[in-house]
Copies of this chain bind each other. A is one copy, B any other.
Amino acid sequence: MSQKLPVSPLAPKKTAKPKKLSGLSLSVVASGARYKGRDDVLLVALDKGASVAGVFTTSKMPSAAVDLTRQNLAASRGRARALLVNAGNANAFTGKAGAKAAAITAQAAAEKIGCQAGEVLVASTGVIGEVPDTEPLVRAIGKSCGGSDGGSDWQAAARAIMTTDTFPKLATATARFGKESVTLTGIAKGSGMIAPDMATMLAFIFTDAALSPTVLKKLLTTANADSFNCVTVDSDTSTSDTCLLVATGAKKMSGAAVKGAGDKRLTAFKKALAQVMQDLAQQVARDGEGISKLMTVHVTGAEDDAAARRIALAIGNSPLVKTAVAGADANWGRIVMAIGKSGEKALRDKLAISIGGVQVARAGCVVPGYKEAPVARHMRGKEIAIAVNVGVKSGPKAGKARIWASDLTHSYISINADYRS
């Protein structure tokens, strides 16, 4: 794992500059467990009263870290004092020894912070199948700043959780929250659903707003459906996917407490949350292994939003669509094929397809007098827009979805097949 990959050509040009976020402190440290000369442990200390909600991998093979974080969140009903992330070892498929290792590192973090082990959430990514050596991790945790005297260097935090990511992923927004202005800042990692030997996607979004775990969970689930669940690199679902939304509670809502996610006073907050999560999700796609072009696929006219999303993902996951995009080939027949295989309702004889805003097919047939030149020009760019109307429903009840996907290139094969043998 010593190869240094070049930064993705789709990396964002600008770096987010988050404001100070009250109620937490960040500490990064190098354990030396797998990587040399870089931070690989992030410890986030949360002030008392912080709320947390999480969504996790749907894999039937969840990592020991996912197991422990799920358990602790359930037992504490969404209360936590610390988040501990290590990069380089996923602690997945490691049996009882892995569960013990996760507990040992959580205990070390609890001692450092001064809280209960059950108040520590953990997340690990890296190799599958190797029990992590807890010694360097425990030592690193001991050297971290620990409690509220830690820093707020979000760039460093985003870097410390990277495995084969080629750039750190950071997004931020502010929103009106009653009479307060609150900040939402998130970091994420992920470069393949599994990077070489590595597993996978982590995202942590923090806010200083005061919101209950129940409300957070609803907000997170809604925003997640339209952000991280809309990204695909290689269709491979990791054993470690974890997305947490943490509210430190430093800034209270004026007036009555927010009881439900439907509270009208949350409108700006929801918008900011969607913005941060979509930004991070798109950054994950932009760092897809071996990416040369980013696909954005819009599907409309479907039975419902879930059907639209599955159709969009069938397009974004199709090796033949991905290779056509990589080869700048305006091969829209492959898009037809991918829609057809999605298993979702789609009316062949009403189907319409646009590429780069140019309609190539409608009513189940190529458009009369279709000229490939403008489409081919769009396909040579770095950001490819594919829009499909599957003709099942129209009007406001029609299902729609938008997903981001990387293409499939020689570099993907090199990253995943060539480096270890």
Instruction: Give the interface of A toward B (CB within 8 A).
Output: 57-62, 90, 92-97, 127-130, 192-194, 197, 199, 234-239, 317-320, 323-324, 326-329, 331-334, 336-346, 348-349, 351, 361, 363-366, 408-410, 412-414, 416-421
Q: When the two chains form their complex, are residues B93 and A192 in contact, meaning their CB atoms are under 8 A apart?
A: no
CB-nearest residue of chain B to A95 = B365
Q: Which of B60, B319, B320, B334 contacts A348 (CB 8 A)?
A: B60
Q: When the two chains form their complex, are residues B416 and A60 in contact, meaning their CB atoms are under 8 A apart?
A: no
Q: When the two chains form their complex, are residues B323 and A61 in contact, meaning their CB atoms are under 8 A apart?
A: no
Main secondary structure of the interface of A (DSSP, over half): loop
Q: When the two chains form their complex, are residues B361 and A129 in contact, meaning their CB atoms are under 8 A apart?
A: yes
- Given A129-B333, A319-B236, A340-B59, do A417 and B97 touch, yes or no (CB 8 Å)? no
Separation of A97 and B192 alpha carbons in the complex (Å): 43
Which residues from B are CB-within-8-Å of A334? 128, 194, 236
Separation of A192 and B338 alpha carbons in the complex (Å): 14
Q: When the two chains form their complex, are residues B366 and A320 in contact, meaning their CB atoms are under 8 A apart?
A: no
Q: Which of B92, B361, B409 contacts A413 (CB 8 A)?
A: B409
Which residues from B are CB-within-8-Å of A93? 333, 336, 348, 351, 361, 364-366
Which residues from B are CB-within-8-Å of A332? 129
Sample (9) of A-B pairs whose CB atoms are under 8 Å apart: A60-B346, A61-B336, A93-B351, A236-B318, A236-B337, A236-B338, A239-B340, A319-B412, A327-B421
Interface centre among A333, A409, A417 (most CB of B within 10 A): A417
List the number of copies, as a whole number.
2
Which residues from B are CB-within-8-Å of A408? 319, 413, 417
Which residues from B are CB-within-8-Å of A59? 337, 340-341
Task: Tell me the minimal C-beta distance from A295 to chain B in angstroms.
Answer: 14
Q: When the two chains form their complex, are residues A128 and B324 in contact, meaning their CB atoms are under 8 A apart?
A: no
Separation of A418 and B199 alpha carbons in the complex (Å): 30
CB-nearest residue of chain B to A93 = B336
Which residues from B are CB-within-8-Å of A129? 332-333, 336, 361, 366
Q: When the two chains form their complex, are residues B421 and A336 in contact, meaning their CB atoms are under 8 A apart?
A: no
Q: Which of B97, B128, B331, B419 contacts A333 (CB 8 A)?
A: B128
Separation of A272 and B60 alpha carbons in the complex (Å): 38
- Given A329-B417, A337-B128, A420-B331, do A234 and B320 touch, yes or no (CB 8 Å)? yes
Separation of A55 and B61 alpha carbons in the complex (Å): 35
Q: When the two chains form their complex, are residues A413 and B337 in contact, meaning their CB atoms are under 8 A apart?
A: no
Interface centre among A92, A96, A324, A421 (most CB of B within 10 A): A421
Query: Besides the contacts A60-B343, A93-B333, what 18 more A-B pairs have beta carbons closer than 8 Å?
Result: A60-B342, A60-B348, A61-B337, A96-B365, A128-B333, A128-B336, A129-B332, A129-B366, A234-B319, A236-B320, A236-B338, A239-B336, A319-B319, A323-B412, A324-B416, A326-B413, A409-B417, A410-B414
